[in-house]
Chain A
Amino acid sequence: MTTTTTGIRAVPAVGTAHTRVEGRDKVTGAARYAAEIPFTELAHGWLVLSTVTRGRVSSVEDGPVLDMPGVLAVLHHGNAPRVDTDYVGMLGMPPDPTIAVFQHDRVPHAGWPVALVVAETSEQAREAAEALVVHYEEETHDVTFAGEHPDAYSVPGPGGPAVTEKGDLEAELAASAVVLDAEYTTPEEHHNSMEPHAATALWDGGRLEVVDSNQGTIWVAAELASLFSLDPASVHVRSEHVGGGFGSKGVRAHQVAAVMAATILSRPVRVVMTRRQMFSLAGYRSPTTQRVRLGADAEGRLLALEHSCLSLTSTVHEFIESGAGVARVMYDAPAHHTANRVVRLDVPSPTFMRAPGEAPGSFALESALDELAEKLGIDPIELRTRNEPAVGPVSGLPFSTRNLPACFEEGARRFGWADRDPRPGVRREGRWLIGTGTAAASFFVGAMPSTAAATAEADGTFTVRINAADIGTGARTALTLVAADALEVPTDRVHVRIGDSDFGPAMIAGGSMGTRSWAWAVTAAAAELRERLALSDGIPPEGITVRSDTTAAVGALAQKERHSFGAQFAEVAVDVSTGEVRVRRMLGMFAAGRIINPLTARGQFTGGMIWGISMALHEEAVRDRNTGALYGADLAGYHVASNADVPLVEADWVDDSDPDDPVGIKGIGEIGIVGAAAAIANAVWHATGVRHRNLPIRPDRVITAGPHV
């Protein structure tokens, strides 16, 4: 028996910068990602995707392919095991039928999985997959997303109801001194994470083992158990390191195909998506067409606010990009209408992508506020300040905290906003026109029930097990700091283990809720462990372990409007003769709860803001209406900001500890991108005097829009 001590920390770890605990492993290559972990007898599966956009598979000529070197099996709808899709998943949604691969002959979109070729090597599998001849009965398709589609319908989204309405919109618009009515569009956007989706499946002692790259092992394990009608305890999913997720890494076709093949072949099977396949199989953000109507009195007080958002989904699954939800949080008006609508087209299913709803919604609403400020002759920040709501505009609930004005005040001071000349198109440096812009940001925050285990080891260290996922955010490190403070020990005595479905239920890395949900459970377990240690005489060799479950505590949270807020600032240079737009500097000030690790938090904020640069200027998946497929579906064709596009991006925050959270956390995962594109678009207007309402602000659009040289 040994003894251990807690309560020896004078300085809290939370709030101090800490490099990633696994940082050295990652930069030296010691950290292994899902597709790098070796297995004996490993076979490799390669997905074959449909080359037509709508129709039926009439035949799969697997015979010649089975004779190719190394080929072990060809799975397709004629021979694949059946799966069950009649269930509701962990996030309260039925599964996207796209994951139920090879169950029927229908092809509902280009890039639909039609077969898996399994071979001894990855190269053999790929060669055979590319040689596999699949015959189709092709049907006409409709992939054209336009502002008005006769089949569009209203539907509730992940974030709330389809439609909210109060007041008489037309009457208030008629009574307004100034009215703005504008349409904004955002394109199809993809979260193509650095690490492709990859999974290895095998059966081991009656258990299904899956080594994967995902945003929640319990999430994936539960869905695989449902799909294959297995006892959830007999499915074990691990996901140690994840090279980006952004909403795309749940259950996808590759894991399901790998499990099928591993079951048939009785050996480990790995399936990795190619970059090009990710553009069809990993989900994406729907394009949006949004209409915003604003009416205000002469002092800028909103009398009418209408925000409607049309997005698309596939014919097999309903996912809503609820861009109109942002107005339900940000601004109130006597007449306040919001509506999310969707149209089903012959396209892959969209999904959650960083700041779903708010990212495109804030582009439209925050551009519209800027346009209204211009019409009123009121400073854009002042206009927002005059329209700060006291309670939730739709819910009427109080805000947990709403420190948006503080973000604007401090951001404006640091950015030098007070010196800004409001006139557009009057600042020139050589061939460049210069402008600045701002926009507000918000994103829902919350907590979900989670469990954790904390162990006092006999050697004086502590092990915390929680089924968290570190998808590059720094979650493992943040939880180490939280656990160290809760245990009142230095961080080097705490080992946090994550990414293992055997650790029990926990929130996924998603919805800006991971760290808060996990930290709550870790704090609870640590507190109880300290109590146990205080009563114990020493630590037995197996250690002392306590478990926590936050279901009751989280369920007891009062109903409130709970959001992170932020103020985005951007300065741009525009050459209207060549259409080039360059962001010169950005500043984001956030009120996003207590910040656990300033180092990684800053990375998340600036990462989101840089993604906002991409969204404003670069990102656009081009769907060819004739073929129904994407054009240029790779990272040469789909542009994101390069280093040269990102000169100076700063993020900081104001004090905003959440009084209802044991650690004071809100959530920072998504808010960095919210409002960023609007701030840039508003700056482009300030530089040129021309308003760009369609993203991305491409050179050809700038050249065409003017002002003409």
Chain B
Amino acid sequence: MKEFGYQRALDVSGALALLDADPDARFLGGGTNLVDLMKTGVERPGRLVDVRELPLDRIETTEDGGLRIGATVSNSDLAAHPDVRRRYPALTQAVLAGASGQLRNMATVGGNLLQRTRCGYFADVTKPCNKRDPGSGCPAIKGEHHNHAILGASDHCVATHPSDLGVALTAFDAVVTYETADGPGELPLADFYLPVGDTPHLETALPQGALITGVVLPPAPVAANSRYRKVRERASYAFAIGSIAAALDVQDGVVREVRLAFGAVASRPWRARAAEAALLGGPVDAAAFAAAADAELAAARPLPHNGYKVTLMRNLVVAVLSELAEEAAR
């Protein structure tokens, strides 16, 4: 494999300077995705700037009562944090639904958001892929795509984003904070991932050379009654074929607040705003949940072999909201 340099950054400004000094450099977090991609030749950096020792490993309550999660917090530490477990249980469930214990110990929050699709064509450098090699084509559309996108895809790419964590963060209106040589910035997670369009290789709105420093969760009392459900082709250690992060607040038999986000259906974690709008102020029953799911999934454009995902997501919306409604009633 390609020889590469390795340097460990000790502070954020140092990390930015190291990256800036080498156009072929990449940040290295836990390495649980980047190193795999280097082995398969998908990624060929000349230098790795290890940011895992940066002082970005804390989880703190913000002044307004939200949470600030450092970019280098490991997935394991995030899932185990008492405030996360109590105030955003779907976040803990999402993290624990992913990967394995060993991987979660290594993987970072920042890296999780920047992980690449697990599309098999993307991972195979002998095949065309518009995301890896712009303009080369997308073999998935007429080939294997039973776990590809049904929402927000394009004729250029139908890959899905693999993150579980990102789905829960999306449901809770997380904001990504970053640092550049020109100063800090932030991006709501809803705007963090770019639409696929004809540029599937451009995945995020992060400025060139930016380093993710953390994720801020605004206060969300509704999140205390939240759940993450992941469906996959085996019981563990597999990416989702469909997942859902949901939070529900019911008062007087009416939906007062609701959050819904889908995973494994689009190039980014998919906030189901049409479904939320349909539910808000409405009744708490399976028919209303199903109608809300249909409102969201009306935009679905399934391929010949992934139409089951429409049924799956509809069923997941009804099942998980029904469970949350039952718990809210207790």
Contact = CB atoms under 8 A, between A and B. Distances in A.
Interface of A: 51, 123, 126-127, 130, 276, 431, 577-580, 582, 617-618, 622, 624-627, 629, 631-634, 636-637, 639, 641-645, 698-700, 703-704, 709
B221 interface: no
A57 B97 CA distance: 46
Contacts of A704: 308, 311
B308 A700 contact: yes
Given A632-B123, A643-B236, A577 B146 contact: no
B90 interface: no
Contact of B120 (A617, A637, A645, A709): A637
A580 B233 CA distance: 7
Contact of B236 (A579, A644, A699): A644
Given A577-B315, A629-B126, A703-B312, A618 B234 contact: yes
Contacts of B236: 642-645
Contacts of B40: 276
What DSSP secondary structure best describes chain B's contact surface? Answer: loop
A631 B139 CA distance: 10
A278 to B, nearest CB: 14
Contacts of A698: 233
Interface in B120-157: 120-121, 123-127, 139, 142-144, 146
Contacts of A634: 123
Nearest to B323: A431
Contact of B235 (A130, A624, A642): A642
Contact of B126 (A51, A580, A617): A51
Those 5 A-B pairs whose CB atoms lie nearest each other, nearest first: A632-B120, A644-B236, A644-B235, A577-B315, A700-B308
A703 B235 contact: no
Contacts of A578: 231, 242, 312, 315-316, 319
Nearest to B286: A709
5 contacts: A626-B142, A631-B144, A639-B233, A642-B237, A703-B315
A642 B239 CA distance: 13
A699 B237 contact: no
B156 to A, nearest CB: 17
A431 B125 CA distance: 42
Contacts of B316: 577-578
A696 to B, nearest CB: 8
A641 B126 contact: no
A290 B10 CA distance: 62
Interface string B138-179: 010011101000000000000000000000000000000000
> Is the interface on chain B under 10, 10 to 19, 20 to 34, or 35 or more residues?
35 or more
A607 B234 CA distance: 17
A289 to B, nearest CB: 19
A461 to B, nearest CB: 42
Contacts of B126: 51, 629
A409 to B, nearest CB: 32
A698 B234 CA distance: 9
A130 B305 CA distance: 33
Contacts of B120: 622, 631-633, 637
Contact of A699 (B2, B118, B142, B231): B231
Given A631-B121, A642-B237, A645-B234, A624 B143 contact: yes
B3 interface: yes
B41 interface: yes
Interface string B8-46: 000000000000000000000000000000001100000
B295 interface: no
A636 B305 CA distance: 20
Contacts of A617: 233-234
Contacts of A700: 146, 241, 305-306, 308-309, 312
